[in-house]
Amino acid sequence: MEGSLSTYWFVIVTLMLAVYVVLDGFDFGTGIIYLFAARSDVERRTVLRAIGPVWNGNEVWLIAGGGLLFFAFPKVYAAGFSGFYLALIIVLWLLMFRGLSIELRSHVDHPLWRPFWDASFAVASLLLAIVFGAALGNLLRGVPLNAEGYFFTALWTTFTPGPEPGILDWYTILMGVLGAVILTGHGANYLAMKTGGDLYQRACRIAQVTGWLMAALSVVAILATALVQPALRRNYDAHPVGYAVPLLGVLALAGMLYFRRRERNVAAFLASSAFIVGMLGGAAWGLFPNLLLATKDPAWSLTVYNAATPGGLEIGLVWFAVGISLVITYTVYVYRSFWGKVDLSSLEEGK
């Protein structure tokens, strides 16, 4: 029974984090293209208004996912937060800078003030996308866990995967670049859905170009993953039905390119979201039952079985059902309330 509950919680935590990447991912993407797609102050305020009502709420899914990880798999939470301490501090500062950029941009009307916060918003968004992509690369590649289930990882070592890898090596950087490209396209599709005029046209072009980049880099990343961590194929070999998950991602990417070409903006954005879920789901299928792979000795890996909370998982499902119902209700309400294109009539130059 405990084993089944651990599996359920693995699925729950994975879905929570996937939803976070989909929702906050388009915030990152709009930030990445912010300085290029939006070229006037009106257009930049249009971008900020497009994400303004939802970006803060989107981060709730990250907090909830982290809280559920702490509840269900405390050993993984403890090992990850201590081993990736430096990276997490970097993420914290980047999240703060991104939030401050949005909130403080219009507080002072000065030639240096707005450009500074605009650049901060764009740079923080780009770096966050790269860092989260590299974090996924670390999970897939593995970390130097010891027999006690703890590790410390330097920012970099030899830039090659091995028994003592750093946070950054050629593989995790590749995954970071892939993450940035995927979220750039995701954000561009969101802007195309929410804006009009010249800003809309630029967003469409960016989404079209990045869609093909996403396809090319995804192929490279899949081949690199098979080279760096061949153990991820075991679940697929044992249960070929799992191939349906990344196949969903492939079909979603093809659909995104098709819908983008036909300027079906909502469908393109939903396809982009499905692509992200499909690729993350494919990674989770390969990892299961591992949560943190040990690069030194596979027997030291933290799994859903040896890292789960002893007892309480069944009770937690009841409270999770209550909490997730509230979060989903709030999320649906906010998105329905601010559905449609951003109204540009009130965004006059200089105001």
Could you write out the DSSP letters of every residue in 253-266? HHHHHHHHHTT-HH
Question: What is the C-alpha end-to-end distance of the chain, expressed in Å?
Answer: 61
Closest CA to 7 of 247, 235, 282, 313: 313
Q: Specify the pLDDT at position 246.
A: 92
pLDDT at residue 119, as a whole number: 95
pLDDT surpasses 60 at 195: yes
Q: Quick: pLDDT tens for 6-47.
A: 999 999 999 999 999 999 999 999 999 999 999 888 999 999
SS3 call for 292: strand
Cβ contacts of 194-199, under 8 Å, gap ≥ 24: 194/50, 194/340, 194/341, 194/342, 195/46, 195/47, 195/50, 195/341, 195/342, 196/341, 196/344, 197/344, 198/39, 198/43, 199/37, 199/38, 199/43, 199/46, 199/47
Residue 245 has pLDDT above 80, yes or no: yes
Residue 97 pLDDT exceeds 70: yes
Mean pLDDT of 156-170: 88
Give the mean model confidence (pLDDT) for residues 299-315. Answer: 86
Above pLDDT 90, what percent of the chain?
72
- For the cut 70, the answer to whether the pLDDT of residue 297 exceeds it is yes
pLDDT at 1 over 70: no
pLDDT at 122 over 50: yes
Q: How far apart are CA 27 and CA 190, in angstroms?
A: 9
Q: Which long-range contacts (CB under 8 A, 24 or more apart) does 86-95 make?
A: 86/155, 86/167, 87/131, 87/134, 87/135, 87/155, 87/167, 90/127, 90/131, 91/128, 91/131, 91/132, 94/124, 94/127, 94/128, 94/131, 95/59, 95/124, 95/128
For the segment 182-187, the average pLDDT, to the nearest whole number, is: 97
CA distance 86 to 63: 19
What does pLDDT average to over the chain? 91
pLDDT value at position 350? 46
Amino acid making up residue 49 = R
What is the pLDDT, as a whole number, of residue 344? 63
SS3 content of the chain, % helix, strand, coil (to 5): 75, 5, 25
What's residue 346's pLDDT? 56
Distance of alpha carbon 257 from the chain centroid: 20
pLDDT band with cut points at 50, 70 and 90 for residue 211: very high
Q: What is the mean pLDDT of residues 155-183?
A: 92
- pTM tops 0.95, yes or no: no
pLDDT greater than 90 at residue 319: no
Q: What percent of the chain has pLDDT over 70?
A: 97
- Using the predicted structure, report yes or no on whether residue 220 has a pLDDT greater than 90: yes
Q: Which is higher by pLDDT, 275 or 317? A: 275
